[in-house]
Amino acid sequence: MSELLANLTALVPEGCDANTSVFLFISELVQDHIVELERVHFSSDCYFHCGLCQPPKDPYYIQFNFMVLGVILPIVGLFGIFGNAISAFVYSRPEMQCTTNFYLCLLACSDAGVVLTGIFLFSLESYKPFSLTATRIIGAFSPIVFPMGTIAQTSSVYFTMCAGIDCFVQVCTPEKVRRVFSRKNTARFLAMIVLVFCILYNVPHFFEGRAIDCWQDEWKGMSQETCPLSFRFNELYQQIYYKYMYSVFIAVGPLALLIVLNSFIIGFSVFGKTDANTDDTMSLILVVLLFISCNTIALIINIFEDMLSGFLEAKINYIVDLSNFLVVFNSSFNIVIYMKYSQPFASTMRSYFCRRKPKSESPGPGPPIMITEKPSRSKSGINMMQTRIIEL
């Protein structure tokens, strides 16, 4: 028996069983130096005190965390939930049927998932110092909600890539290529591949945490706390999964591809022969710029987490909170760009929600019709795309 384990066993109150699964789990975390022995305390009922797996927080940080993530973020998120619901509805209408809009409809659904899980993981977490109920809920459901949130994030990235590739094909490639990519079966097949990949890629997150029963001494009641498994801190796992795979599949890779595609789309729209709607082109540019501005901090934190943690220490939590807020803001702002810069979207939305038929003399081409059997000579306008990366 190691010295740490012997010291931990000595803390167990008389009459309490030191062979329970929870005790063995905490013992493993203590021996792996994930949990500090000084934070281990027991209640009279043989339960660990809550706070084992979370270091104490600075009072000023608690106030900052509550204002940014507990007050402002839910307001932005509520707007985002309704906005994404409207976006998904509009892009699923018969008159908006095309492959790009099909991907944007799925993207809006993914955005709604990002916002919902963000409110749970970030806002509810900020209420923990003030509510036993919030502590119980976040402790019990975080091991499930966190991987669901990462699935939604990954889906947002890849549905954006699908929309970007489809826009590139419609604007920059010959009719034969457009005909292949504009088929329903092609779009549905790619969407299915994306969903399967997003789920499989995030499966490891389901095995990174465990909820344990604990005694909340401040509130004098039972609660639950999520503690990381030792697997989460495995050096090889962190290097491969969190550093290299994250950079290639979630961060740098998709961002670089979107920038290249966006550059070609802009170039063909300005200098080439294309029937693309200039309004939609502008919306695409703005969405990509919004993504870059809102997610740069998250990219830096994820890639250089160890170095920044050593340099900033506890102050890095302020930057993480700001990054998480910007990601949710990014996920919630799409509809504003759609309404302002996409005439087909705005016209269709007004026709359903304002009981006004779209004007026939509206400038710019309408949305393309998805090709099923017979090819069409019409070219699609450029629709918007959106992506984000979050560190939960």
| C-alpha count within 13 angstroms, C-beta hemisphere, residue 167 | 36
If you search the block for the tokens 């990054």, which residue do you land on? 323
- The Cα 367–Cα 382 span in angstroms is 9
Structure-token pair, residue 340: 């302002």
The identity of residue 334, as a single letter, is N
How confident is the model at residue 266, as a pLDDT?
A: 77
If you search the block for the tokens 């498994």, which residue do you land on? 229
- The Cα 327–Cα 324 span in angstroms is 5
- The structural domains of the chain, ordered by start, are 57-205+235-353 (1.20.1070.10)
Contact 297, 44 (CB under 8 A): no
The identity of residue 184, as a single letter, is K
- Rounded to the nearest 10 degrees, the angle between the axes of helix 334-341 and helix 99-118 is 150
The identity of residue 357, as a single letter, is K
pTM assigned to the model: 0.83
Helical spans, DSSP H, in 240-304? 246, 252-271, 278-303
How confident is the model at residue 275, as a pLDDT?
A: 57
How confident is the model at residue 206, as a pLDDT?
A: 93
- The Cα 304–Cα 306 span in angstroms is 6
How much of the chain is helix, strand and coil, in % rounded to 5?
70, 5, 25
User: Exposure string (b/e) for 55-88, b if CB count within 10 Å is 16 or more?
Assistant: eeeeeeebebbbebbbeebbebbebbbebbebbb
How confident is the model at residue 291, as a pLDDT?
A: 75
Q: How far is CA 392 from the centre of its chain?
A: 8
How open is the CA angle 92-147-306, to the nearest 5 degrees?
Answer: 125
CA-nearest of 27, 33, 35 to 235 is: 33
How confident is the model at residue 233, as a pLDDT?
A: 87
CA-nearest of 136, 149, 98 to 213 is: 136
If you search the block for the tokens 């955005």, which residue do you land on? 111
Residues in Cβ contact with 99 at an 8 Å cutoff, skipping those fewer than 6 apart: 166, 181, 182, 183, 184, 186, 187, 370
Q: What is the pLDDT along the chain (392 residues), one digit of tens a residue?
A: 467 777 777 777 777 887 888 888 888 888 888 888 888 888 878 888 888 888 778 888 889 999 999 999 999 999 999 999 999 999 899 888 888 888 889 999 999 999 999 999 999 989 988 888 888 999 889 999 999 999 998 998 898 888 888 888 877 878 888 888 888 888 899 999 999 999 999 999 999 988 988 888 888 888 888 999 988 888 899 889 988 898 888 878 888 888 888 888 778 777 766 555 566 666 766 777 777 778 777 777 777 776 777 777 778 888 888 989 998 998 999 899 889 888 888 888 988 888 655 444 444 444 443 433 333 333 333 333 333 334 43
